[in-house]
């Protein structure tokens, strides 16, 4: 039985796009407070797809929402 701990929750995300989008990746912030290894204490989401190294200008933002692979690199969002 596939019962991950987050499969029944509703989570609010904020995507911030720079003026250089789609040449730069969006910044994803989780606004629902949870403990997750791919989310820092301020809600910044650590996903390889949202790093400059893995982002391609042809990637659509919705593709990032369907990826479940956590990343070791973290990109800080501009303030």
Domain boundaries along the sequence of the chain: 18-79
Average pLDDT, whole number, for the chain? 76
> Could you tell me how far CA 2 lies from the centroid of its own chain?
23
Q: Count of alpha carbons within 13 Å of 1, Cβ hemisphere only?
A: 3
Contact call for residues 55 and 24 (beta carbons, < 8 A)? yes
List the catalytic residues: 46
Residue range 38-52: average pLDDT?
86
In this model, does residue 43 exceed pLDDT 70?
yes
Of residues 72 and 34, more confidence is placed in 34
Of residues 77 and 57, more confidence is placed in 57
* Residue 47 confidence (pLDDT): 81
For 18-79, CATH gives: 3.10.110.10
Percent of the chain topping pLDDT 70: 72
Looking at residue 78, the DSSP 8-state letter turns out to be P
């Amino acid at each position: 039985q596939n019962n991950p701990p987050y499969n029944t929750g509703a989570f609010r995300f904020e995507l911030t796009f720079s003026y250089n989008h789609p040449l730069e990746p969006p910044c994803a912030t989780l606004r629902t407070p949870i403990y997750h290894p791919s989310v820092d204490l301020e809600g910044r989401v650590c996903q390889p797809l949202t790093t400059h190294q893995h982002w391609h200008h042809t990637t659509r933002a919705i593709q990032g929402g369907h990826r479940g692979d956590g990343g070791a690199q973290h990109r800080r969002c501009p303030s």
